[in-house]
């Protein structure tokens, strides 16, 4: 069986993202990407050094593909894997408190099979929802550079393309997710209101696909501990946004 090609440059990311035949091939290509040297070094260093609490566990230490069915009507766009969360478990929002907050809300809404997400083999499944990150590797201090975001963008373009015929709502966690989603749909030829919609919790805008179908763009504060521990984002606030999708 031929090996999965690994992107090492931005141009290779674009070529491999646009030529992936299906969701499985796209996920495989994402998982071996090495196009951003700083992120490659960081994610792999974290996977070797580990956090003391997880010293006995293997770390994924690679880019993290989307999670959920590609024909989902709801797409959730986050920022990037957490160093000891998805960078450890290999699944978006799995293994950290941000994920605990998000999956509990998705479970309350009937979109997740269980409220906890501890590891990639824990049995959690999503129904009607798909989670994608704007940047697929864990960045230092959770801050990808502009160039890293641009390099990774074709993976998001391709993932959104898989759902373009069925998606009805795109929920963006934080400003980076909002900006990345808008850029991706523009790349796909969708109509985005002008001036560019401003991000905010509960912010909404109507996008239009080239076929004329309307899709809601919905903003939500990120489920990071900085927001959930301080009360900037509460369970009710998150439930309200998910309920509006």
Contact present, 221 and 200 (Cβ < 8 Å)? no
The pLDDT mean for the chain works out to: 96
Contact present, 170 and 156 (Cβ < 8 Å)? no
Tokens representing residue 165 in the block: 């015929």
For residue 81, give Cα distances in angstroms to 34, 192, 222: 15, 27, 13
Please check the confidence at residue 2 and state whether its pLDDT lies above 90. Answer: no
Please check the confidence at residue 244 and state whether its pLDDT lies above 90. Answer: yes
Distance of alpha carbon 27 from the chain centroid: 12
pLDDT (tens digit per residue) in 63-117: 999 999 999 999 999 999 999 999 999 999 999 999 999 999 999 999 999 999 9
DSSP symbol at 212: S
pLDDT band at 127 (very low <50, low <70, confident <90, very high): very high
Q: What is the mean pLDDT of residues 22-29?
A: 97
pLDDT band at 128 (very low <50, low <70, confident <90, very high): very high
Q: Residue written as tokens 């999670």?
A: 67
Across 98-151, the runs of DSSP E, i.e. the strands, are 129-133
Looking at residue 3, what is its pLDDT?
Answer: 84
Please check the confidence at residue 121 and state whether its pLDDT lies above 90. Answer: yes
């Amino acid at each position: 069986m031929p090996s999965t090609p690994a992107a090492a440059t931005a141009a290779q990311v674009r070529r491999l993202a646009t030529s992936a035949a299906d969701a499985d091939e796209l996920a495989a290509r994402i998982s071996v990407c090495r196009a951003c040297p700083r992120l490659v070094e960081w994610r792999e260093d974290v996977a070797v050094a580990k956090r003391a609490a997880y010293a006995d566990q293997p770390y994924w230490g690679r880019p993290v593909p989307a999670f959920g069915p590609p024909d989902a009507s709801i797409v959730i766009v986050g920022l990037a894997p957490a160093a000891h969360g998805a960078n450890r478990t290999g699944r978006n929002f799995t293994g950290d408190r941000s994920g605990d907050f998000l999956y509990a809300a998705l479970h309350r809404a009937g979109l997740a099979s269980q409220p906890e997400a501890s590891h990639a083999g824990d049995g959690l499944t999503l129904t009607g929802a798909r989670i994608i990150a704007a940047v697929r590797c864990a960045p230092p201090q959770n801050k990808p550079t502009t160039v890293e975001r641009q390099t990774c963008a074709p993976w998001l373009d391709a993932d959104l393309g898989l759902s373009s015929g069925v998606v009805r709502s795109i929920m963006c966690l934080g400003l980076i997710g909002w900006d990345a989603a808008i850029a991706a749909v523009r790349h796909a030829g969708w109509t985005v209101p002008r001036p560019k919609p401003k991000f905010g919790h509960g912010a909404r805008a109507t996008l239009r696909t080239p076929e004329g179908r309307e899709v809601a763009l919905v903003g939500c504060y990120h489920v990071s501990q900085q927001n959930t521990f301080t009360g900037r984002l509460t369970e009710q606030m998150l439930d309200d946004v998910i309920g509006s999708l």
